[in-house]
């Protein structure tokens, strides 16, 4: 990466670009992975995919907890306007959430600020989908809030720095690119500083 290049940064949607108050309970979800073979007949190392109409309806309800743009989105838009970063929106929302995904694209005015917006239309495992897009775009940084996804991406896309938006229940986990909020990641530390350094 030369000084004249624009930093290419990808952002997850739920829990990163969109504020989601219940994401604080995500650490508890890891406990239930041991019950997957019995409750959902899925492998423990796979992310849950809702198959039945009822499960998909419930999944849509759960995603409505991502109800507003997170603090830090304005800073991203400013960096894009100043040509400091090239922003991409990458969410592993499954195909049946296409309508809700399109709603947020309009709400965020994504076409003005994100060079590309991608959702998991083929219903791949979340980490596999994000790995494919990150490699295709050759991102410098990807911002994610799911620790399970981050652990897999760190080994599958080593050329990309994976930033983690954590929460208070994750305080015991040590990680080099760990931030308490999107705003802290963008405005307070590495993304903004790196983008500004590239313009020198």
Measure Cα distances from 147 to 9, 26, 78, 188 in Å.
Answer: 18, 9, 28, 21
Mean pLDDT of 92-120: 93
> 165-178: per-residue pLDDT in tens?
998 888 889 999 99
Tokens at 98, concatenated: 């296409």
Percent of the chain with pLDDT over 90: 56
Domain 7-23+68-198 has CATH 3.40.50.1000: yes
Token pair 């596999």 is found at 128
| pTM exceeds 0.75, yes or no | yes
pLDDT score of 191: 78
Tokens at 80, concatenated: 């894009």
Query: How many C-beta atoms surround the C-beta of residue 91 within 10 A?
Result: 25
pLDDT score of 22: 60
> CA 195, 197, 200 angle in degrees (round to 5)?
120
- What are the structural domain ranges in the chain? 7-23+68-198, 28-63
Q: How confident is the model at residue 194 (pLDDT cuts 50, 70, 90)?
A: confident
Mean pLDDT lowest among 66-70, 146-150, 151-155:
66-70
Mean pLDDT of 41-63: 65
Q: How far apart are CA 174 and CA 151, in angstroms?
A: 12
Average pLDDT, the chain: 82
Q: What is the DSSP letter of 14?
A: B
């Amino acid at each position: 990466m030369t000084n004249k290049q624009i930093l290419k940064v990808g952002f997850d949607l739920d829990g990163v670009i969109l504020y989601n108050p219940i994401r604080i309970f995500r650490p508890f979800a890891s406990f239930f992975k041991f019950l997957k073979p019995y409750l959902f007949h899925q492998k423990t190392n796979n992310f849950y995919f809702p198959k039945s109409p009822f499960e998909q309806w419930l999944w849509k309800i759960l995603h409505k907890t991502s109800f507003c743009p997170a603090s830090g989105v304005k800073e991203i838009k400013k960096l894009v306007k100043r040509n400091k970063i090239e922003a991409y929106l990458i969410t592993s929302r499954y195909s049946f959430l296409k309508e809700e995904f399109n709603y947020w694209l309009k709400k965020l005015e994504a076409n003005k600020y994100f060079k590309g917006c991608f959702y998991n239309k083929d219903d791949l495992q979340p980490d596999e989908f994000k790995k494919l897009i990150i490699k295709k775009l050759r991102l410098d940084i990807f911002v994610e809030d799911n620790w399970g996804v981050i652990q897999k991406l760190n080994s599958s896309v080593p050329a990309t720095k994976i930033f983690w938006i954590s929460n208070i229940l994750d305080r015991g986990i040590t990680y080099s690119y760990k931030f308490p909020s999107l705003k802290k990641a963008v405005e307070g530390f590495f993304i903004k500083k790196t983008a500004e350094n590239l313009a020198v």
